[in-house]
Structures are given as structure tokens and as C-alpha cells.
Amino acid sequence: MLATLIKSRDVLTTVSENATLQDALDIFNNSNFRAIPILDESGQLFRGAIYKMHIYRHQVDGGDMNLPVTTYMRNMTKFVGVEATFFEMFFTLRDLPFISVLDKDNHFMGIMTHSRMMKLMSDSWQTDDGRYTLTLVTDGERGSLEKAAKIITRYTQISSSMTLNPDNNPRTVRILFTLPDSVNEGMLSKIIKVLSRKGFHLESLEDLSKSNYL
């Protein structure tokens, strides 16, 4: 999956480990990049990343702009292999603008950006045919997800689902179901009533057709 999501090195702007801070600054001044991958002299191996803010601070402090970019190199270990799992990729990326992706020979293939990951998450939750998103609070009983899904699928298919545990409490796990646009208000009302009778508390209901997120 990862190979289809990365931004290929062929279309990326990178800098060599021998480039200067001024070289990198020139790139930043003519782009909207927050960070740029640093490769070795061969252009094959990932060394790290250089961030715009570090160069700006160095310049403001009157630092030597002819120093190599490796002076402020960061994220040297922030990379994943092309066969990485979704969770490995997600938790490595987390708060970074991008992570580098390496092939089986540890050669630099490209990057996975934070914005691409967020779009992937958004697309998987709010699908093109989604109409309503229900957030249910469970009591932590085993099989709650399956039980709620069976109730809903008596009436309609499920466009997507997700579980969240923001309170880190197994007794207040949230289950989010996105239902397709074929669901009308009458059907929705029936689904909610049955879920309520079966012990599921409806925490929130969003009509995606009226949402500003899509």
C-alpha cells in the first residue's frame, strides 16, 4: 500500500549533504517547504532533513551560511521501509511534515507527507457516498463493534467505521459509523432507536451533507 501513497523522489526537491545552509535557504525562499530531505553524495541514501526554521534562526543570529546543511540535520531515524505497515507509518510520521521511504536496499524512494496521511484518514472516514456519521459510546462489552454493526446492517450498508478511545477507558470506547446517502431520516431514526434499546448511547450525529469539512 505504501508504495502507492509516497511522493516519488523524481518529483521531489532534495539537497546533497554537501550543500550549504545558503543553498537550502535559497530553496526555502522560493517555495513553501517546511523541510527538505538531505541525501548523500550519490543521491541514493537518506541522511536526514533540514528545516526552514533552523536556518532562519541561524541567519538571524548572524551564523555562517556557508556551513553544510548537516549542521542542522534532523530526523535521521525518521524513515520507514516500503513494506512498512500502516500503523508503523502512521506513528513514525505523527507530528512531522514528512517521513522518508526506503526500498529494500535502503535507497531513498520518496516521502510520505503528513497532509497525504491526513487526506487518507479523511477519505477513509468521510467517504464520497457518506451522509450521516454516528458516534456511539459503548460500555466496553466484548463484541460491541460487531453487535452495533449487525444492527445497522439490518437497514443499510456501512460506508466506513472507526473506533476511538480518547479517555483511555475501555468502558467509554467510541465507535464511529458513516452511513451512505441512501439513508433517509426515517431509516436513520429507526437505527438510532434500536441502537439505544441495545445499550448504545448516541453521543453525536453529523449530517455530512451540511458539513463544511468535505
pTM exceeds 0.95, yes or no? no
Secondary structure letter of residue 45 according to DSSP: S
130-155 tens-digit pLDDT: 889 999 998 777 889 999 999 999 99
50-96 tens-digit pLDDT: 999 999 999 999 999 999 999 999 999 999 999 888 778 888 998 89
Q: Is the pLDDT of residue 213 over 50?
A: no
160-195 tens-digit pLDDT: 888 887 667 767 788 999 999 999 999 999 999 999
Which domains are seen in the chain, by residue range? 2-120 (3.10.580.10), 128-209 (3.30.70.260)
